Amino acid sequence: MHFIQSFSRIYRFSLVLLALLLGSVVYAGSPSGAVSVNEAWVRAVPVAGMNGAAYMTLVNQGEKTLTLTAVDMGDLARVELHESVEHDGMMHMNELAGGIELPPGQPVVLKPGGLHIMLMGVSKALLPDHTVQATLRFSDGTSQTLEIPVKPLVPGS
């Protein structure tokens, strides 16, 4: 009888300890302030091997500045964060190796001719009305995976 009571206490203690550990793991993986993603879309790419781009509006809902450090699209394409800038009357694209800063509460718009996510050498055609999966990675170690619709560059075309 004593063995059963001891085993029961150990079992209950183990369950409590496991619940505490799992709770801390879930908490450690939770972002301190989520980033909302709005109006995300990927420019259609009619032929594999071409470059494409993804656009969206990001809003850091937290209290501290975050940085979008990387975007992963699996084997779909090599992905870089870029900014288009005009210099001497010519448009140039610069890779933003340090990422894209997201100040708290301020919308950061990724759009054609500005900040964007560059898809280098897309492995398959990206056609309108399809979606692609992307995982956004942030400086605080969090990530966000979303399905992004593919749209033509010129709406309605």
DSSP class per residue in 5-49: HHHHHHHHHHHHHHHHHHHHHHHHTS-SS-EEEEEEEEE-BSSTT
CATH number of the domain to which 82 belongs? 2.60.40.1890
| CA-wise closest residue to 38 among 149, 140, 127, 152 | 149
Instruction: Kindly state whether residues 20 and 41 are assigned to the same domain.
Output: no
Range with lowest mean pLDDT among 7-11, 16-20, 115-119, 149-153: 16-20
Tokens of 119: 């898809």
pLDDT single digits (tens) 27-82: 333 344 599 999 999 999 999 999 999 999 999 999 999 999 999 999 999 999 99
What range does the domain containing 23 cover?
1-30
Cβ atoms within 10 Å, residue 124: 14
Instruction: Kindly state whether residues 14 and 57 are assigned to the same domain.
Output: no
Q: Do the domain assignments include residue 49?
A: yes
Q: Please state the pTM of the whole predicted model.
A: 0.76
